[in-house]
Amino acid sequence: MSSEKFDAVDIIGIKRDRGTLSPEQIDWTIDAYTRGAIADEQMAALNMAILLNGMSRAEISRWTSAMIASGERMDFSSLGKPTTDKHSTGGVGDKITLPLAPLVAVFGVAVPQLSGRGLGHTGGTLDKLEAIPGWRANLSNEEMMAQLADVGAVICAAGTGLAPADKKLYALRDVTGTVEAIPLIASSIMSKKIAEGTGSLVLDVKVGSGAFMKTEANARELAETMVALGKDAGVNTVALLTNMATPLGLTAGNAIEVQESVDVLAGGGPADVVELTVRLAEEMLAAAGLPDADPAAALADGRAMDVWRRMISAQGGDPDAALPRARESETIYAAADGVLVELDALSVGVAAWRLGAGRARKEDVVQAGAGVVMHAKPGAQVRAGEPLMTLLTDTPEKFDRAREALENAVVIAPEGSRPAQKLIIDRIS
The reported pLDDT for the residue numbered 2 is 63
The reported pLDDT for the residue numbered 225 is 96
- Whether residue 185 is contained in a domain is answered as no
Distance (Å, whole) CA 26 – CA 233? 17
Q: Which helix (H) or strand (E) holds 61?
A: helix 57-69
**In terms of domains, do 338 and 396 share one?**
yes
- Whether residue 27 is contained in a domain is answered as no
Tell me the torsion sign for CA atoms 364, 369, 375, 376: positive
CATH, residue 354: 3.90.1170.30
pLDDT average per 10 residues of sequence, the chain (429 residues): 85 97 97 94 97 96 95 92 94 96 98 83 88 95 94 91 88 84 93 92 96 93 96 95 96 97 96 97 97 96 97 97 97 94 95 90 85 95 96 97 96 79 94
**In terms of domains, do 290 and 385 share one?**
no
Q: Which of 267, 282, 314 is the last residue of a domain?
A: 314
**In terms of domains, do 296 and 342 share one?**
no
Q: Which of 314, 341, 359 is the last residue of a domain?
A: 314
> Domain tally for the chain?
2
**In terms of domains, do 333 and 308 share one?**
no
- Whether residue 244 is contained in a domain is answered as yes
Distance (Å, whole) CA 350 – CA 348? 6
**In terms of domains, do 265 and 405 share one?**
no
- Whether residue 62 is contained in a domain is answered as no
Nearest to 110 by CA among 142, 85, 137: 85
The reported pLDDT for the residue numbered 407 is 95
CATH, residue 290: 3.40.1030.10
Distance (Å, whole) CA 405 – CA 133? 30
Q: How far is CA 198 from CA 63, 156, 406, in A?
A: 20, 15, 40
3-class secondary structure for 163-220?
CHHHHHHHHHHHHCCCCCCHHHHHHHHHHHHHHCCCCEEEEEEEECCCCCECCHHHHH
Distance (Å, whole) CA 47 – CA 11? 11
Report pTM: 0.93
**In terms of domains, do 120 and 210 share one?**
yes
**In terms of domains, do 81 and 154 share one?**
yes
- Whether residue 183 is contained in a domain is answered as no
Q: Which of 252, 284, 314 is the last residue of a domain?
A: 314
Through-space distance between the first and last CA atoms of the chain, rounded to whole angstroms: 49
Active-site residues, by number, are: 87, 166, 173, 188, 192
**In terms of domains, do 278 and 368 share one?**
no
Q: Which helix (H) or strand (E) holds 346?
A: helix 345-352
The reported pLDDT for the residue numbered 1 is 44
**In terms of domains, do 254 and 287 share one?**
yes
Reduced to 3 states (helix: H, G, I; strand: E, B; else coil), residue 277 is: helix
- Whether residue 72 is contained in a domain is answered as no
Q: How far is CA 351 from CA 66, 214, 250, 251, 354, in A?
A: 39, 19, 14, 12, 5
**In terms of domains, do 310 and 354 share one?**
no
Using CA atoms of 48, 61, 242, 126 in order, give the dihedral in degrees to the nearest 10: -80
Helix, strand, coil tally for the chain in percent (to 5) = 45, 15, 40
Nearest to 67 by CA among 86, 42, 43, 97: 43
Cβ contacts of residue 378 below 8 Å, gap of 6+? 246, 340, 341, 342, 343, 418, 421
- Whether residue 179 is contained in a domain is answered as no
**In terms of domains, do 210 and 349 share one?**
no
**In terms of domains, do 218 and 125 share one?**
yes
- Whether residue 37 is contained in a domain is answered as no
145: left (phi over 0), alpha (psi -120 to 50) or beta: alpha
Reduced to 3 states (helix: H, G, I; strand: E, B; else coil), residue 343 is: strand
Quote the domain boundaries for residue 265.
77-171+194-314
Side chain identity at residue 355, one-letter code: L
